[in-house]
Amino acid sequence: MGVTGSGTTVAELVGRQWGDHRVGLMHEDLVLSHHQVASGAAARAALLTELLPRGAEPHLGVLLDNTAEFPLWIGAAALAGAAVAGINPTRRGAELARDILHTDCRVLVTERTHLPLLDGLELPGVRVLVTDDDAYTVLLAPYEGAGPADIAPLPGRTVRPGSRLLLYFTSGSTGAPKAAICSQGRLAAAGASLVSHFGVRPDDVHYVCMPMFHGNAVIADWAPALAAGAAVALRRRFSASCFLSDVRSYGATYFTYVGRAVQYLLATPERDDDRDHPLRLGFGTEAGAVDAERFAARFGVRLVEGYGSSEGGAAVQRTPGTPRGAIGRAAPGDDLAVVDPSSGEECEPARFSAAGGLLNGDRAIGELVNRGRSPFEGYWRNAEAEAERLRGGWYWSGDLFYRDAEGFLYFAGRSDDRLRVDSENLAAALIESILARWEPAAGVAVYAVPDPVAGDQVMCALALRDEASSFDPEGFAAFLAAQPDLGTKMPPRFVRVVARLPVTATNKIHRVALRREGFLHGRDPVWWRPPGADGYRPLTPADGARLRRACERHGRAELLDR
């Protein structure tokens, strides 16, 4: 959503929960009232005041699954004028230590299940709190039952809308993740915007099944619940098989998703009671029009595809009349444009065939930029990345879009998901949206692999539905031939058949891993369509050797093993 901040702080929103004895937070067998949530946050804020060294950055790391302690510590940080760095539990070793130390965390809140991740790490000056340990209970005991009069910001700190509250790592495909900054005012405003946009009510229940160390769960799920006075139900980790049972038991009415979670839900066995639940809305990104329609038809739940860059620099709002496949228009106040990164010139409007296919992708697809005032609040201690994001006075999102003549914007993938096949620029997301129509496919990921001579070839990973016993190469080729909007350069040269698409901790496709395997590495079977052939056949070791030799002849062999 288009948010530039507000005069309200998250601390104020937490404070509004005092005296409200309705259910506010649920996790497994734990049920807390809104009042208990506010009191628990105040107790942790008081403890934090004692634990943070004087003069240190007021930062704490949270290395937790989605347990009640996670939102309680975000609330505590808001009350104390501190900031929470969400630590990704899928990181390991030196990378994990780097995330904690880079964000200047002097306190790390974790749980026993994640303690092995810290074994052998050098974390000088970091105090570790283990939430399911007796020592933690003893530390917290003197502050239990804290009230409004007990709340005071950290020494030397004041709580203002511009106070830093979140440091959340963006999942870049290369280099170390960058810690984006989100202030109390921006988070409060984001919550209020979603409350208004979706009509969130105090009697709603927001189901948080995406990881809270990522911005999606906090900004798009927890924050609007806090702003509306709605309840929050936490799932420790996303589970497709437990989704509906959770929704029913918690009475959940709203959830957010990222990446392939919707595909996993659609891949579960259909049941007669799939529509027997209180859920009314899902809000997220990258589900795709085909899967959104399938989800609505099966579960009776509308999915609203949105877009907002993790850093907050650009947002697209869905409005009435948004065409199928489009995300929406620029949010009020945003001056968004689709720009060719190499020239800085605005791309031409998209033109479509009668079947809806994009006719001028090579000239219409570009990077989404915000040429106006950007809500981007920077990266923690990363001036170089900040300057790259704001080059030329514009906010460069790093995401590919195209825009039609009416101004509606269509997501075309990440900037590193662009493919160049026979001198034509293609976007992975466009090809994926077409391949997703193939009925046996439970999940699809499209990515570039090296062409032996120049540029790229199209490769896809296919996860099949349970009822599909094996990959049907003839059926897949016939399906491709029947798609009127599949351009001549778009059909995959290589197809990797996988049991499950690899995903990151935030349920986005792990394209780096797929590109690294390419067509020569990995254990899953690969099918391919040799040049001039109409159909697919298994890629044999002899085929692979010939392809490698062809790459060697053109000096491209190193690209096969990157």
Assess whether 204 and 69 both reside in one domain: yes
d(CA 55, CA 39): 27
| Closest to 547 in 3D by CA, of 534, 532, 531, 562 | 531
Assess whether 428 and 288 both reside in one domain: no
Q: What is the CATH number of the domain that holds 140?
A: 3.40.50.12780
The answer to whether residue 481 is domain-embedded is yes
Residues 6+ apart with CB under 8 A from 130: 110, 111, 112, 115, 136
The tokens for 274 are: 């799939």
Assess whether 426 and 279 both reside in one domain: no
Q: What is the pLDDT of residue 361?
A: 82
Residues 6+ apart with CB under 8 A from 498: 461, 462, 463, 524
The answer to whether residue 2 is domain-embedded is no
Q: What is the CATH number of the domain that holds 434?
A: 3.30.300.30
Q: What is the pLDDT of residue 204?
A: 98
> Which amino acid would we find at residue 455?
G
Q: What is the pLDDT of residue 494?
A: 97
How many structural domains compose the chain? 2
Assess whether 210 and 61 both reside in one domain: yes
Which string of DSSP letters, residue by residue, matches 6-61? Answer: -S--HHHHHHTTTT--SEEEEETTEEEEHHHHHHHHHHHHHHHHHHSPTTS--EEE
How far is residue 327 from each of residues 275, 308, 346, 481, 486, measured CA to CA in Å?
26, 10, 19, 28, 21
The residue out of 266, 288, 305 marking a domain boundary is 305
The residue out of 250, 282, 305 marking a domain boundary is 305
The answer to whether residue 340 is domain-embedded is no
Place of tokens 């530390």: 139
The answer to whether residue 74 is domain-embedded is yes
Q: What is the pLDDT of residue 538?
A: 96
Assess whether 67 and 209 both reside in one domain: yes
The answer to whether residue 354 is domain-embedded is no
The answer to whether residue 369 is domain-embedded is no
Q: What is the pLDDT of residue 173?
A: 42
Q: What is the pLDDT of residue 171?
A: 59
**Residue-level pLDDT, tens digit, the chain, 562 residues:** 444 456 899 999 999 999 999 999 999 999 999 999 999 999 999 999 999 998 899 999 999 999 999 999 999 999 999 999 999 998 888 889 999 999 999 999 999 999 999 999 999 999 999 999 999 999 999 999 888 877 888 888 899 999 999 999 985 544 578 999 999 999 999 999 999 999 999 999 999 999 999 888 999 999 999 999 999 999 999 999 999 999 999 999 999 998 678 888 998 999 999 999 999 999 998 777 778 889 999 999 999 988 887 788 888 888 878 998 888 998 777 799 999 988 999 999 999 888 777 888 888 989 999 999 888 999 999 999 999 999 999 999 988 899 999 999 988 777 767 787 876 668 788 899 899 999 999 999 999 998 887 778 999 999 998 777 789 999 999 999 998 878 788 899 999 999 999 888 777 888 888 988 999 999 999 999 998 888 999 999 999 999 999 888 877 776 787 6
The answer to whether residue 161 is domain-embedded is yes
Exposed/middle/buried for residue 324 (C-beta within 10 Å: 0-12, 13-18, 19+): exposed
The answer to whether residue 68 is domain-embedded is yes
Q: Which domain holds residue 545?
A: 421-561
The residue out of 286, 305, 324 marking a domain boundary is 305
| Closest to 320 in 3D by CA, of 329, 310, 311 | 329
Backbone angles phi, psi at 21, to 5 degrees: -100, 15
Q: Which run of H or of E encompasses 419?
A: strand 418-421
| Closest to 74 in 3D by CA, of 65, 84, 88 | 84
Assess whether 118 and 259 both reside in one domain: yes
Torsion sign over Cα 545, 551, 555, 560: negative
d(CA 61, CA 128): 9
Assess whether 294 and 149 both reside in one domain: yes
d(CA 124, CA 93): 15
Backbone angles phi, psi at 555, to 5 degrees: 65, 30
Assess whether 29 and 162 both reside in one domain: yes
